[in-house]
Structure formats: C-alpha cells, structure tokens
Amino acid sequence: MKKRLLIFGAMISMGLGFNACSSDDPVDPNDDNPGQTPEVPETPAAPGALNLADYNNGSGIMMQAFYWDVEPRHQWWTTIDEKIAGWADAGVNRIWIPPASKGQSGGYSMGYDPSDYFDLGEYMQHGTLPTRFGTREELGDLINTAHANNIEVIADIVLNHNSGGGLEWNPYREKDTWTLFDEEHGNASGKFNRNYENFYPNSTSQYDDGSLFYEETNLDHNQEYVQNWLWKADYSVANYYKNEVGFDGWRFDYVLGFEPWVVKEWMDAVGGYAVAELWDGNPNVLEDYIEETGIAVFDFATFYKLDEALDRNDDLTILERHMVWQNYPEKAVTFTANHDTEKDPNEHNNISVENKMKAYAFILTHPGYPTIFYLDYENQNFQEDLKQLMLINNSLATGDVEILYVDNDEYVMKRSGDGTNPGLILYINNSSNTKRRNITTGWNNKKIMDYTYQTSYSPVTGDNGGVSIEAPGNSYSVYSIME
C-alpha cells in the first residue's frame, strides 16, 4: 500500500500524489536502473558531503548517564565525569543521573529507595558514607565538569515512596511501620525528619494514591510541612539541589504515585528543565499530563510503537499512529531504552538489540528531544553509528515531517528543512534484502548521499526531485543533498 502523510505539528493531511516503487528482490549494487527510474552510477559518498557542523539546528540530546546496578560501586560520579567532554563533542546538552541521595540499601542502592534526601554521600548511615555513586564532593566535581562543557545536569527525584526509617507504632494502621525518619533512623542529616503523621493515612488525610511501592511510607504532599521541605521553603530539597548542589532540572520518578499539581507547584517554586516518568503507552494520557503540568514526558507512546513495529508485529505501518512528538515536539522526550526497560532482557518492555539502531534512527531524525541510553552509547558496535545519527539530529533533522511511503517492511520519512537547511529523508528497511524506493524529494537536480554511511549509493535527483534511494537489509539510511 502506498501512503503519503504530511504532518505540521499536530496536523496530518493526505495530499499530492507521487510515484513510488521498489523491489522485494535483493538489489544488485551494479544495477544502475533498479525499479522504474534510471539512476546515476554509484559514487563514493564522502567527497562533496555537507559539513553538518554548519547546520546547527539547536536541538540537543540527553544522555541517560547510568544503567541498573552500575559498577564500580562508589566510583560512578568519577566514571562519568571522564566521559563528559566526549559526550559534549557528540552533541549532548543534558545528562540525566540517578537519584543522588542515600537510600535504604546504602552502598548498593540505586537511589530509588530514598531515605535521607540531604545525604548525597557525606553522612555515615546505612553502612556507608558514599552513595553507590560516590561522595558529595565527587558529585560536585561532576556537575562542575558538565557545566564547563555546556551540559546541564538533571536530578532524578523520587517524591513519594520513602524507605529506610525506623520502626514505630502507627495508630492509623494499627501496627508498627517503618515510618520514623530522624538522625538515628535513616535521616542522619537531621533535615526533613518524618514520622507516621507525614505518610498516608494520617490524622488529616486518608488519601490513597494507589502506589505500588512502599505504600506505608508514601508521603502526604497535601501537608504544609512536607511541601515546605520538598519545594516551598528556602531550605527545601528542591532549593538545596538547585542552588547549592548545582542541578539544572528534574526527572520526576513514578509520577503515578502523586498528583500532577505537586509537579506544577514544584516547578512554579524552583523552575528548571523537567521531564516526567509517566509509564503509559497511551499518547492521550501523556498529552493530558503535559497540559496539566506544563513539563515534558518520556514518550512511551513512541517507545512502544517502535517495539511493536520493529519487534512484536514486524509492521512499520504502526509508525503512522499517534505519538506524543506529533502534537508536542518540544515536550516529547523520545527514547529506545532506559534502566528499567533494559533491566531484564527476558521482559517484553525492550527493543531487541538487532533492531536498536533502527529505533535510534527513528528518534534521532524525527521531532522530539531524544535520549541516548548509556549502555547503548558504550556499545562499540553502536557508538560510531550513534555519533553520526546524533550529528544528524543536531543538524539536518529540522522542518515539517512528511511520510513519503510506508508498508510492512519500509518506512520513508522526509524532514522539509528550514531556510538554508536542506532537511533529510529517512529510509528504514525492516526486510532482510537491500531495497530501493522511488520518491519525490523536493531537491531538484541535486546529488544526494546517505549521511549515516550505511550505503554508498549516491544518486542525482531529477528536474522534479524524483530519485531512487537505498537502504540495506535490516538497516536504515538518511539522505540529504551534497554540496
């Protein structure tokens, strides 16, 4: 089936016709006339290529600078400190680091079991002075290095489920609960001491947020005391992290565990960049959250559609469906993997290794703010290809989106460019054979090339912009004009 979609932000319309055809048979690289349109013989791709550094579109990329159970323990801040300059050179403008405060698991904690919000590796508690990631001083050095390289540092904030307090009688649950947080019980800093009155249920609230984690120690955000310590007061967690530690923004963990107004009030109080982890593949749910809070969300709708299109259903027409970046490109944080999706390779919440680079080709050429997962970038089979896609994201990936062709195996998308920026054409091939597709580019009488170097096939467009482009089997290409 031949389809053509034109997307202007939220608008999708059917429009002008064109000729597009390809063969399901393997392409002979020596065949100058595949399909219906005569082509120029293949030439080396690199000579005459645009200098992509001249086309900075201001996009930027976020690096998720950790994975689950990072090693070596107590050395993570220094480990990634040494990588900052290289990430900056590759086009990263923000890094997202794990929750920096001391958790119940001490030196083994990934930070998602927060105990003392103000212990960033400087108090001896839960069996360790440093966190799993290092000391407070090493965290400061990391942030300073990032800022020196024009990279913002995003703090992972866990605002509901607490862990690691002492045991006390809880009259509202009529049993002992681990709800006592003070200098002797999991809160050595002495800041933001808590007891059963600060968790649900209590004397002022019976609210149940339906949290799946540590339900007995879910903070009551309706209390003035809790609000002051988290974001309102000068001494709050938010102000300490921003004004003293040096964080530039926030990744709000598990926002299903508290109401959207909490995030909005936090942002009104301290500002900065922010993105929410709302684990829901329904784009309408994600877009409603954007509208309620004003912050970005991780685009789980795109993640799951890539998983379905490339892995589960082997059907690229799924990529025509509703995703958050279509309506909210500035608020859609796209990704192909994170610490949770990659935690258990036997789970179905991940994109397979063999399809990972095609997924990255999608998010790094489409609108949205893309995130690179640390382990993917460190994978030597991926790194050079990822760097090139990141360069393309920050240069040619601009302008309106037009889907030129899509079927089960092929997806061809055009970015229109802007002003002197020529834009690009992405070609994903999910079949095992090299394919060529005849399209209309909008570039008249121009020699074009694949800027990802997956293929050296470099044709010239016709008077009407028509041309045949190529993508290797189980791969992708990203075409644009040459000088």
How far is 456 from 397, CA to CA, in rounded Å? 20
Task: Clarify whether 277 is annotated catalytic.
Answer: yes
How far is 375 from 356, CA to CA, in rounded Å? 12
How far is 102 from 442, CA to CA, in rounded Å? 55
How far is 405 from 1, CA to CA, in rounded Å? 9
Residues 75, 81, 84, CA angle at the centre, nearest 5°? 150
Through-space distance between the first and last CA atoms of the chain, rounded to whole angstroms: 34
Bridge partners (DSSP) listed for residue 477? 427
Task: Clarify whether 32 is annotated catalytic.
Answer: no
The residue annotated as part of the active site, out of 176, 183, 197, 277, is 277
Structure-token match 């608020």, residue found? 331
User: How many angstroms separate the Cα of 175 from the Cα of each of 96, 215, 216, 217, 483?
Assistant: 39, 14, 11, 13, 74
How far is 187 from 137, CA to CA, in rounded Å? 19
How far is 223 from 207, CA to CA, in rounded Å? 12
Annotated ligand binding at 160? The verdict is yes
The residue annotated as part of the active site, out of 248, 253, 376, 407, is 253
Q: Which of 155, 114, 107 is nearest to 131 (CA)?
A: 107
Q: Give the single-character DSSP code of 469.
A: E
The binding site consists of 160
The binding site for Ca(2+) consists of 160
Q: Residues with catalytic annotation?
A: 253, 277
